Copies of this chain bind each other. A is one copy, B any other.
């Protein structure tokens, strides 16, 4: 008998404090490795720490592996999860399934031994670290001996046999972006991808061109010459625009020039810097749609910005999850050797 008599699909039975919230909002969760009937127990191999969190830890304790390891152990001991108290962010993990709870058997496609990546944040995942083996300072990863729990509503992806683990991890981390792009973009659309030279932006440019087709037009935006050169070399963007998206009027003028004043039907914002909401709004046509995938987006800047210039656009909050997003993202690497090469060289 598990100690959790009536386990919630959201894992609230493991919340210790404050009571009544969901695991992500909790300061401390119960990381006992006795799984409830609806939980999956995982042998963890690698923690892929969120970039903001890893950067903060290095700033606080220095870049020595031993110091980073001690800090990570300390956070997990305090909170029962690798939830950085300063940045509020987590990361993902990879490991293999040890047990699948009785209530889930036959309902999900996992069996013990399967290699998986969790697609929910470490900020809500019960974790116990027995031993830290290696801290890979250069790629924000930590190899450990340990265990973790995945809740019934927790997302995961089985790791494919045909793609190296680190490459798979790199793309799974941003799997929501191309899946949402596929839904948003239709044949013939003009699409602006702000931050089109970055990791998620490249995937959006690729997917947008696939959906918009030869009659559509995809415009990748970056303030960096190197990003623009790469976009041109890859060839998926119809135009690579070297503009700083924080200069809203400059971005609008450039997009207007490229589109004969028509502006974008769909704008996808993928840059992790602040103050690009107004640029996104001005680059988009009346009645168009804006997808904010960037975590640096300010809700009020977007809402008041559109009202302030009288622009009737639909602005969507990026959801990192879409049904089937992991398989969708991995398939992009399978269909495009150029994309796969890029991910293997640049991000893995």
A70 contacts partner chain B, Cβ-Cβ < 8 Å: no
Cα A106 to Cα B249 with chains together (Å)? 27
**Are A303 and B320 in contact, CB atoms less than 8 angstroms apart?**
yes
Segment of A218-226, A234-242, A291-299 engaged in the interface with chain B? A291-299
**Are A321 and B315 in contact, CB atoms less than 8 angstroms apart?**
no
- Residues on the B chain within 8 Å of A320, using CB: 303-304, 306-307
A316 contacts partner chain B, Cβ-Cβ < 8 Å: yes
- Residues on the B chain within 8 Å of A302, using CB: 299, 317
**Are A25 and B303 in contact, CB atoms less than 8 angstroms apart?**
no
A32 contacts partner chain B, Cβ-Cβ < 8 Å: no
Give the distance to chain B from A239, nearest Cβ to Cβ, in Å.
Answer: 23
Interface string of A1-23 (1 = CB under 8 A from B): 00000001010100000001111
Of the candidates B21, B120, B278, the one whose C-beta lies within 8 Å of that of A25 is B278
Give the distance to chain B from A290, nearest Cβ to Cβ, in Å.
Answer: 8
Cα A317 to Cα B267 with chains together (Å)? 14
Query: Knowing A299-B297, A302-B317, A316-B315 touch, does A22 contact B309 (C-beta < 8 A)?
Result: yes
Total copies of the chain: 2
Cα A20 to Cα B249 with chains together (Å)? 8
Query: Knowing A278-B22, A278-B25 touch, does A124 contact B317 (C-beta < 8 A)?
Result: no
**Are A120 and B315 in contact, CB atoms less than 8 angstroms apart?**
no
A308 contacts partner chain B, Cβ-Cβ < 8 Å: yes
Query: Knowing A295-B300, A316-B315, A317-B317 touch, does A308 contact B120 (C-beta < 8 A)?
Result: yes
A155 contacts partner chain B, Cβ-Cβ < 8 Å: yes
Query: Knowing A120-B310, A278-B22, A299-B292 touch, does A317 contact B315 (C-beta < 8 A)?
Result: yes
Query: Knowing A317-B292, A317-B316, A319-B314 touch, does A124 contact B308 (C-beta < 8 A)?
Result: yes
Give the distance to chain B from A289, nearest Cβ to Cβ, in Å.
Answer: 10
- Residues on the B chain within 8 Å of A311, using CB: 153, 319, 321
- Residues on the B chain within 8 Å of A154, using CB: 310
Interface string of A268-307 (1 = CB under 8 A from B): 0000000000100000001000001001011110111111
**Are A321 and B297 in contact, CB atoms less than 8 angstroms apart?**
no
What bracket does the count of chain A residues touching chain B fall in?
35 or more
Of the candidates B123, B295, B307, the one whose C-beta lies within 8 Å of that of A303 is B295
Of the candidates B121, B298, B306, the one whose C-beta lies within 8 Å of that of A307 is B121
A248 contacts partner chain B, Cβ-Cβ < 8 Å: yes
Give the distance to chain B from A142, nearest Cβ to Cβ, in Å.
Answer: 21
- Residues on the B chain within 8 Å of A248, using CB: 21-22
Give the distance to chain B from A248, nearest Cβ to Cβ, in Å.
Answer: 6
Most buried by B among A21, A124, A310: A310
- Residues on the B chain within 8 Å of A312, using CB: 319, 321-323
A128 contacts partner chain B, Cβ-Cβ < 8 Å: no
Interface string of A313-347 (1 = CB under 8 A from B): 11111111111000000000000000000000000
Cα A336 to Cα B23 with chains together (Å)? 45
A196 contacts partner chain B, Cβ-Cβ < 8 Å: no
Other contacts beyond A119-B307, A153-B309, A292-B317: 17, CB < 8 A = A10-B309, A12-B249, A20-B247, A22-B309, A24-B304, A24-B308, A88-B300, A120-B310, A121-B304, A123-B308, A154-B310, A155-B307, A304-B320, A307-B320, A310-B321, A311-B319, A315-B316
